[in-house]
Amino acid sequence: MTRHPTETPPTTPAAPHQMWGGRFSLGPSEALDALNRSLPVDHRLWPQDVTASKAWVHALGRVGVLTSAEEAQLLDGLDRVAERLADEGIDAILPGYTHGQRAQPVRWAYVLVAHAWPFVRDRQRLADARRRVAELPLGSGAIAGSGFVVDRVLLKEALGFRAVSANALDVTGDRDFVAEVLFDMALVGTHLSRLGAELVQYASSEYGFVRLADEFSTGSSLMPQKRNPDVFELARAKSGRLLGDLVALLTTLKGIPAGYSKDLQEDKALLFDAFDTLAVVLPAVTGALASLGVDPERMRAALDASLRATDLADLLVEAGVPFRESHTLVGKLVREAERAGVPLDRVPQAVAGGIHPALGAALAQLGTWEDSVEGRATPGGASRKSVEDQLEELRKLFGAGAGP
Amino acid sequence: MTRHPTETPPTTPAAPHQMWGGRFSLGPSEALDALNRSLPVDHRLWPQDVTASKAWVHALGRVGVLTSAEEAQLLDGLDRVAERLADEGIDAILPGYTHGQRAQPVRWAYVLVAHAWPFVRDRQRLADARRRVAELPLGSGAIAGSGFVVDRVLLKEALGFRAVSANALDVTGDRDFVAEVLFDMALVGTHLSRLGAELVQYASSEYGFVRLADEFSTGSSLMPQKRNPDVFELARAKSGRLLGDLVALLTTLKGIPAGYSKDLQEDKALLFDAFDTLAVVLPAVTGALASLGVDPERMRAALDASLRATDLADLLVEAGVPFRESHTLVGKLVREAERAGVPLDRVPQAVAGGIHPALGAALAQLGTWEDSVEGRATPGGASRKSVEDQLEELRKLFGAGAGP
Amino acid sequence: MTRHPTETPPTTPAAPHQMWGGRFSLGPSEALDALNRSLPVDHRLWPQDVTASKAWVHALGRVGVLTSAEEAQLLDGLDRVAERLADEGIDAILPGYTHGQRAQPVRWAYVLVAHAWPFVRDRQRLADARRRVAELPLGSGAIAGSGFVVDRVLLKEALGFRAVSANALDVTGDRDFVAEVLFDMALVGTHLSRLGAELVQYASSEYGFVRLADEFSTGSSLMPQKRNPDVFELARAKSGRLLGDLVALLTTLKGIPAGYSKDLQEDKALLFDAFDTLAVVLPAVTGALASLGVDPERMRAALDASLRATDLADLLVEAGVPFRESHTLVGKLVREAERAGVPLDRVPQAVAGGIHPALGAALAQLGTWEDSVEGRATPGGASRKSVEDQLEELRKLFGAGAGP
Amino acid sequence: MTRHPTETPPTTPAAPHQMWGGRFSLGPSEALDALNRSLPVDHRLWPQDVTASKAWVHALGRVGVLTSAEEAQLLDGLDRVAERLADEGIDAILPGYTHGQRAQPVRWAYVLVAHAWPFVRDRQRLADARRRVAELPLGSGAIAGSGFVVDRVLLKEALGFRAVSANALDVTGDRDFVAEVLFDMALVGTHLSRLGAELVQYASSEYGFVRLADEFSTGSSLMPQKRNPDVFELARAKSGRLLGDLVALLTTLKGIPAGYSKDLQEDKALLFDAFDTLAVVLPAVTGALASLGVDPERMRAALDASLRATDLADLLVEAGVPFRESHTLVGKLVREAERAGVPLDRVPQAVAGGIHPALGAALAQLGTWEDSVEGRATPGGASRKSVEDQLEELRKLFGAGAGP
C-alpha cells in the first residue's frame, strides 16, 4: 500500500495544517488561497475519501468519473429519453421532413425512434470511455513512480480496475479521460438540442402535432394564452454549455507540459458542471416526453398530396421509365398541379397522360398513405415491421442488466 | 411608466403564486421546476430589484452588465496587473525572446510593460461595449412594444441610458451585449495566460529571473523542496474557462428565432461565471506580481554574446555593407564562434576580418549591454526613455478618474 | 525609413535565397518546408507588397484587415441584408412569436427590421475594431525597436494610421486585432443563423409565410416536389465555421509568450477563412431576401383569436382591474374558450361576464388586428409610425458615405 | 441494389444537368450556386465514386472517413511520433518537472515515452470510432427507407461494413461519426501541443537539453544567431485549428432537425481540414524528433541537490519517522540549506542531526542519481526496467500488423 500522498494539490477546502508548512516562513496569501480553492467542487469526491488519503481520492475520482451515481443517473436518463417515445404512434402518420420541407410520409413512432438511436451511440461512447479510463494511477508517486514497494497489480485487482497505468509522468498529467467524457456529454447535448428544437416546432400552432402536458408547460406573465415549451427550449439551449465545458478543458490542456501542473485542477469543475447540466435536463425531457400529447389528426392533415411525388416516380421506374426521366416527368406534373391549383393526385388523368402515358397510369395506382409508408420496407425504413423491430432492439439495449 | 412585467420567465427561485396559474389545471412538475430554475444565478440581480418588478431587473441587469461592482473590480484588477511591474526594473537587462530563443537584450520593465498594453486594449474594448450596451429596453413589452403610454425617452434620461432600444422584437431576444462582454473577458483571459505562462518559465530554476514571495507560493505535499507558482499556472489555465463561457453563449444563440426564447436564460450563469473567474484571478495575479522578487544577476548571466549578432549586423550596415550581405557575414561569424567554442565577441579580430574587413572593425566597436539597449531608441523601443514614456502614459491611462 | 525586415518569418511560398543561409550547413527539410508554408494563404497579401519588403506586408496586412476589398464587400453585404424587404410588408400582419409560440400580432416589416438592427451593431463593432487596429507597427524591429533612426510618426502620417504602436515587444506578438475581427464576424454569423433559421421555418408548408424564388431554391434529386431553402439553411450553418475560426485563434494564442512565435502565423488562414465564408454567404442571403415572395393571406390566417389575450388584459387594466388579476381572468377565459372549442373572441359575452363583469365589456371593445398593432405605439414598437421611423433610421445608417 | 440516389445534395462541383430541373422555371442564381458549392471539397471523394452514383459516394465516404489513405498516414504518423527517441536516452538523467519546477530525477527515455502513451490512447479512440462508424447507410432512401427491394445485409457483406444502419431518418442526418473523429483529432492536437511546448522549452538556451538538426531549424531574417524550433511551435499551435474544426461541426449540428438539412454539407470541409492539418504536422514532428540532438551533460547539470528531498523523506519514513513529520523535517533542511547557501546534500551532518537525528543518518545514505531513479521501481516508474518494459510494449503496439 502506498504510504505517501501524490503531489496532487490539496483537495479539501481548507487544510488546517498544510503539508508544506515546514518550508515557508509565510503562509499563502488570502488571494492565493481563494484562487487555489476557487470553487468548492472537490467536496463532490468526499464520499470516496474513505481513507482520508488524497491519493485515494485521486485514484477513485479518476475511475469515479464513470462509476459514480451520476453515471447511473446519466445512463438512466438517456434510456428514458430513448424509450418514451416510441411505443405509441405506430399508427399515426405524418410528413417526414428534409430541409425543413415536407418530404415523405412516415410513422410518428419512426420519428421518435430516429431520435433514440443517437442516444444508443452515446451510451456506446460512454462505455468505451469507461473501459479506457479504468487504469489504476495509484503507485505513481509525483511523476516518477513510488519510492516504496507497492504491488500495483494487486491494488488494481482489489479496486476493480482494468489495468495499471503505463507511465507515472503521463498519468499524473493526463486528462484524456475527462476530455473524452466531456466530449461524449457534449454530443449528448447536441442530440438533445436537435430533439428539443424539433419538438418546439411540432408544439407550435402551425404544426400542432404535439401538446405539452400542463405540468410540463409554463405560461407567460404577460400573455395569458401562452403555453410555452420551456423544457424543449432548454434541451436545445444546454448544448451550448456542454460544448463550452469541453472547449474550456481542451484549451486549458493546450501547451502545458507532461506531469502535474496546477492548471489541471480545472478539470473537475468542468466535469461536474456537465454532469449537473445533464442531471437536470434529462429527467425534465424524459418527463415531458412521457406526458406529451399527440394529435394524429393534425399529423394526417399535414400530409398534402405533393408527398406522393416519390411514389409516382417509383411507379414510373417500375413501369420501365429510367429514374432520371421519371423524376423530370413528375416534376412537370408538380408544376402543372401548382399552376392549376389542384392537389398533385387530383391532376386530371388526361393531363397527366399528356405529359407521359405511364404517368396517367401511375396516378391511378396510388394507394393510401399507409400503403405509401409500407412501401418503404427495407430494414431501417418507415414500415410497421421495421419500426417494431427497432423498438424491440431498443428495449433489449436499454433493458435491465444491459448496461453499456 | 410601464405597468406590466415582460414575458421574461420568473427569475425568483420559487414564486408562491405563478402569474399564469389561471390558465393551467396543473402546476409545473418538479423536474421542470428544477430545470427552469436550474441555477441560482438570478439572485445576483436582486440588489438592483428596487421596485420588485421583473422588468426593472431585466433593464437594470442589462446595463448592470458593465456598471456593477464587478466592473469596478474587473477594471481595477486590470489596472493593478498592468501597473505592478513595471516601475522597477528599468536597469535590469535580460534577453528578449522570440520563438522561445534568446533574441536581443531588453529591460525588465520593458517586458512587463509589453504585458500591460494588452490590458489597456481590454479596457478600451470594455468601454466600447459599455457605451454600446446602454440602450434602454424598458417599454418593449413582450415583443411588440408596450400597450400603455410609456415615455421611454424620459425613462432613459432618468436612468442614465445612452439611447432607447430601436426595436422591441430585437431587444427582447438580443444578447449581443453579453456576447461582446464575454469575448472581452475571454481576451483578458488570453492575455493573462500569456503573462502567466511566461512567468512560470521565468520562475523556473533554469531561467531563475523571478522568485515568488512565500505568501504567493505553494509547496508540495510530496516534495519538500518545491516552491510552486500556482498563481501563474492558474492565470494560464483560466483562459480555457473564459473561452468556454463565450463558446457556450454563442452556441446557445445559434439558430434561435428573434424575440424571447427560454434558451436566453443561459446568459446570466455564463456571464457571472466569467466575472467570478476574473474576480478571483486578477487580485491573485496582482498580489503575486507586487511581491515578486527579481534577480538581475541571473538576468544578466543569460545575456550571452550571440545576442550581439544584430548589433554587429547593424554596424556593418552603417559601414556600408548591404543588409542582406551583412546578415550573411554575421551568420558566418556565429558559425565560426560555435566551431571554435568561443563567445561571439571573443572571435579573434583576425578571424573576423578574414570573413570581411568591416567585421573585424565592427567587433571592436561593440559597446556594453546598456549601449545595445539604448541603441533601440525608436518610440516603443527598449531604450530607457521609451520605457519611461510608456510608464507615464500607462499611469495616466490607469489614473484616478481616467476610467474607460 | 526602416532598413531591415522584421523577424516575421518568410511569407512568400518559396524564397529562392533564405536570409538565414549563412548560419546553417543544411537547408530546411522538405517536411519542415511543407509545415512552414502549410497553407498558401499569404499570397492574399501580395497586392499590398508594393515594396517587396516583408515589413511592409506585415504593417499593411495589419491595417489591411479592415480596409481591404473584403471589408467593403462585408459591410456592403451587411447593408444589403439589412435593407431588403423591410420596405415592403408594413401592411402585412402576422403573429410575432416567443418560445416558438404565437404571442402578439406584428407587421412583417417589423420582423425584418428586428433582424436588421443586429447588423447595425455588427457594423459598429467592426468600426470600433478598425479604429483600434490602426496602430503602425513599422519601426518595431524584431522585439526591441529599430536600431536605425526611423521617424515612426512621419510614417504613421504618410500611411494613414491613427497612432504608432506603443511597445515593440507587445506589437510583434499581438493578435488582438485578428481576434476582435474574428469575434465580430462570428457574431455576424450568429445573427445570420437566427435570420436563416427563422426563414427556413417561415418557408415551410406549415407556416407558408414566404416562398423562395426559383433562382434561390434547390430541388431534390429524389423527391420531385421539393423546393429547398438551401440559402437559409447555409446561413444558419455557417455560424459554426465562423465560431470555429475564433476558437482556433484564441486557443492558438493561449499561453504563448510575448513577442513573435511561429504559432502566430496561424492567424491569417483563419481570418481569410472567415472573410471568405461571409463573402459567399452575404450575397446569397441578400439575393434570396430580395427575391423572396411573401404571402400576406397565410400570415393573416395564422392570427388566431388567442392573440387577443394581451389586448383583453390591457382593456381590463384600463378598466381599473389590477394587472395580476386581469391576467388571471383572461387566463380563465382562454381555458373556457378551449373547453368550449370556440375562438377566444367568440366566447359568449354572458359567459365572459360571468367570469368578471369587465371581461364581457372588454370583449365587446376589441377592434381589428390593425387596431391591436397600432396600440403598441411606443418607440420601437410594432405600430406603423414606429416601423417607418426605424426604416428611415436604417436608410440613413446604411446610406452612401455613412460608413462605420 | 438501390436504384435511386438519396436526396443528399449534389456533390459534384457543377452538375451539367440538375436533377430537379423539371420543376423550376429558373435555374439557381449564381450566388446560390457559389454558396452551395462553396468549397471544392467533395472532389476528395471522387476516387471512391466508382459507380458515378451519389449514394455510393455518400456511403463510401462515410466509412471512408477512417479507411482512406489519410487514416494510414495519420496512424503511421502517430506511430512514428511515439517511436522516435525513445530508444535512446535511457542512460541520460534529467529533472522531471511539475508546476514547471524541478521535482525528481528521471530518464530522458522515460520523458519521451510519457508523450508516446497519449498517442496510444488516440489510436484506440480512432479504432473505436472506426468500428462504430462502419454502419452501411445505403438503402436508406431520402429519410424513410428505399421504395425498392434492396438487400441491405448482402450489400453490407459485400462492402465490408459491420452492420446496417438502424434507422433511415437518423442515418441521413447523423454526423456523429464526423464529430467523433474530429474530437479524436483535436485530442491528438492537444497532445502534440503539449509535446511541442515542452520541446520548445528544452531547446532554449536556458534548458539546453536538446538541439534541433539544421534541416529542422529555421533562422531569422533579422538576427543571424537564431536557431528557431518552428516545427515544435507549430505542433503547439495547430491544436487551435483542430479544436476550431470540432467546435465548428458541433455548433453547426446544434438545433437542426433529424433527417437531411443542407447544413450537414459543412462536415466534409471540416473533416478534410483536420486531416490535412495532421498530415502536415505529423511528418514534420516525426522528422524533427528523429534528428533531434540530445545533450546529456546539460541534463545532468540541471540535477541540483534539492531534487534529493524526496529521497531524504523516504529514508526518514523507512527509519520509522511518520511521513508527515519527515516531510516537515526535510522542509526545514531545505530552508537551512537555502539560508546557508549550500546544496541540500552539503548541509553539515551536525546541523542536519540537530534538526532530527535520523536526518543526519539519511544524508549519509544518499546514493547516486542513478540510485535515486532506480529507487522508483514500481511498474510505470522511472527505473531502467520499467522504461524498457514500456518500450517493448510500445513496439508491439506500433508493430507491423498491429493496426488499431
Q: Looking at the predicted structure, is the pLDDT value of residue D173 above 80?
A: yes
- Provide the angle, in degrees to the nearest 10, between the axes of the packed helices D54-67 and D152-159: 50
Q: What are the pLDDT digits (tens) for A211-240?
A: 998 888 888 776 877 889 999 999 999 999
C-alpha distance from A130 to closest chain B C-alpha (Å)? 25
Cell, residue A303: 400530409
C-alpha distance from C19 to closest chain D C-alpha (Å)? 5
pLDDT at D102: 95
CA distances from A363 to A59, A331, A356 (A): 69, 14, 11
Mark whether C99 is an active-site residue: yes
What is the mean pLDDT of the segment spanning D355-371?
93
Chain A neighbours, 3+ Cβ pairs < 8 A = B, C, D
Q: How would residue D259 be classed by pLDDT, with cut points 50, 70 and 90?
A: very high
pLDDT at B96: 97
Q: Looking at the predicted structure, is the pLDDT value of residue B185 above 90?
A: yes
Q: What are the pLDDT digits (tens) for D222-250?
A: 687 888 999 999 999 999 999 999 999 99
Q: What percent of chain B has pLDDT over 90?
A: 50
Q: Looking at the predicted structure, is the pLDDT value of residue B6 above 60?
A: no
Q: What is the DSSP-derived secondary structure letter of residue D219?
A: -
Chain A residues touching residue C98 (CB < 8 angstroms)? 220, 223, 226, 228
Q: What are the pLDDT digits (tens) for A250-264?
A: 999 999 999 999 999
| Closest CB from C114, C144, C331 relative to B169 | C114
Q: Is the CB of residue C230 less than 8 Å away from at least one CB of chain A?
A: yes
Task: Identify the CA nearest to C176 among candidates C114, C132, C207.
Answer: C132
Q: Cβ–Cβ contacts within 10 Å for residue C362, how many?
A: 28
pLDDT at A41: 47
**Cβ C134 vs Cβ B192: under 8 Å:** no
pLDDT at D59: 47
Rounded distance, CA D286 to CA D85, Å? Answer: 10
pLDDT at C397: 81
Q: Is the CB of residue C262 less than 8 Å away from at least one CB of chain D?
A: yes
- Given C220, C356, C372, C383, the catalytic residue: C220
Contacts 24+ apart (CB under 8 A), B225-228: B225/A23, B225/D306, B225/D307, B225/D309, B225/D330, B225/D331, B225/D334, B225/D344, B226/A7, B226/A20, B226/A23, B226/D98, B226/D99, B226/D101, B226/D103, B227/A23, B227/A24, B227/D101, B228/A262, B228/D98, B228/D99, B228/D101
User: Strand locations in D269-344, DSSP E?
Assistant: 293-294
| Closest CB from C221, C246, C252 relative to D20 | C221
Q: Looking at the predicted structure, is the pLDDT value of residue A209 above 60?
A: yes
pLDDT at A99: 96
pLDDT at D127: 87
Q: CA nearest B389 in C: which residue?
A: C166
What is the mean pLDDT of the segment spanning A271-290?
88
What is the mean pLDDT of the segment spanning D145-160?
85
pLDDT at D280: 87
Instruction: For residue D68, give the amino acid letter.
Output: S
Q: Is the CB of residue D381 less than 8 Å away from at least one CB of chain C?
A: no
Rounded distance, CA A176 to CA A171, Å? Answer: 10
| Closest CB from D18, D247, D261 relative to C233 | D261
Cell, residue C368: 381589428
Q: Is the CB of residue A239 less than 8 Å away from at least one CB of chain B?
A: yes
Chain C residues touching residue A334 (CB < 8 angstroms)? 224-225
Q: What are the pLDDT digits (tens) for D337-350?
A: 989 999 999 999 89
DSSP alpha helices (H): ranges in C341-383? 349-355, 357-365, 369-374
How would you label A315-346 residue by residue, b for 16+ Cβ within 10 Å and e otherwise? bbbeeebebeebbbbbbbbbbbbeeeeeebbe
SS3 of residue B239 by DSSP: helix
**Cβ C251 vs Cβ C262: under 8 Å:** no
pLDDT at D36: 62
Grid cell 455560424 — which residue? Answer: C239
Q: CA nearest D122 in A: which residue?
A: A176
Q: Looking at the predicted structure, is the pLDDT value of residue B151 above 60?
A: yes
Q: Is the CB of residue B171 less than 8 Å away from at least one CB of chain A?
A: no
Q: How would residue D403 be classed by pLDDT, with cut points 50, 70 and 90?
A: very low
Q: Looking at the predicted structure, is the pLDDT value of residue A339 above 70?
A: yes
pLDDT at C72: 59
Q: How would residue B147 be classed by pLDDT, with cut points 50, 70 and 90?
A: confident
Element (H, E) at D229: none
Q: Looking at the predicted structure, is the pLDDT value of residue D1 above 80?
A: no
Q: Is the CB of residue A240 less than 8 Å away from at least one CB of chain C?
A: no
**Cβ A101 vs Cβ C225: under 8 Å:** no
Q: Looking at the predicted structure, is the pLDDT value of residue B324 above 90?
A: no
| Closest CB from C115, C183, C194 relative to B256 | C194
Phi then psi for residue B203, to 5 deg, are: -85, -5
Chain B residues touching residue C165 (CB < 8 angstroms)? 380
Element (H, E) at C194: helix C176-202
pLDDT at C80: 63
- Pairwise pLDDT comparison (B134 vs C41), residue with the higher score: B134
Are D142 and A104 an interchain contact pair (Cβ–Cβ within 8 Å)? yes
Q: Cβ–Cβ contacts within 10 Å for residue B149, how many?
A: 10
Q: Looking at the predicted structure, is the pLDDT value of residue B42 above 80?
A: no
ipTM above 0.95, yes or no: no
Q: Is the CB of residue A203 less than 8 Å away from at least one CB of chain C?
A: yes
Rounded distance, CA B87 to CA B56, Å? Answer: 45
C-alpha distance from A54 to closest chain B C-alpha (Å)? 10
Rounded distance, CA C50 to CA C403, Å? Answer: 27
- How many Cβ pairs closer than 8 A exist between chain A and C? 130
Q: How far apart are the first and last CA of chain B?
A: 32
Are A22 and D331 an interchain contact pair (Cβ–Cβ within 8 Å)? yes
Instruction: For residue C105, give the amino acid letter.
Output: P
Which range among A63-67, B268-272, C95-99 has the greatest average pLDDT? C95-99
Rounded distance, CA D168 to CA D187, Å? Answer: 31
Q: What are the pLDDT digits (tens) for D13-31?
A: 333 345 555 556 666 677 7
Instruction: For residue A56, give the amino acid letter.
Output: W
pLDDT at B291: 85
SS3 of residue A84 by DSSP: coil
Rounded distance, CA C9 to CA B391, Å? Answer: 30
Q: In which region does residue D191 sit, left (phi positive, over 0), alpha (psi from -120 to 50) or beta (all else)?
A: alpha
Instruction: Give the CA angle between residues B287, B293, B298 to the nearest 5°.
Output: 145
| Residues sharing a CB contact under 8 Å with residue B208, sequence separation 6 or more, in sequence order | B202, B295, B298
Element (H, E) at B156: helix B152-159
Chain A residues touching residue C99 (CB < 8 angstroms)? 200, 226, 228-230, 233
Rounded distance, CA B373 to CA B364, Å? Answer: 18
Tell me the residues of chain C between 326 and 355 that have a Cβ less than 8 Å away from chain A. 327-328, 330-331, 333-334, 344
Instruction: Flag residues of chain C having pLDDT under 50.
Output: 1-17, 38-61, 63-68, 400-404
Mark whether B53 is an active-site residue: no
Instruction: For residue D342, give the amino acid letter.
Output: V
| Closest CB from B20, B198, B332 relative to C331 | B20
Give the active site residues of D.
99, 220
pLDDT at D71: 54
Q: CA nearest D234 in B: which residue?
A: B99
Instruction: For residue A75, give the amino acid letter.
Output: L
pLDDT at C38: 41
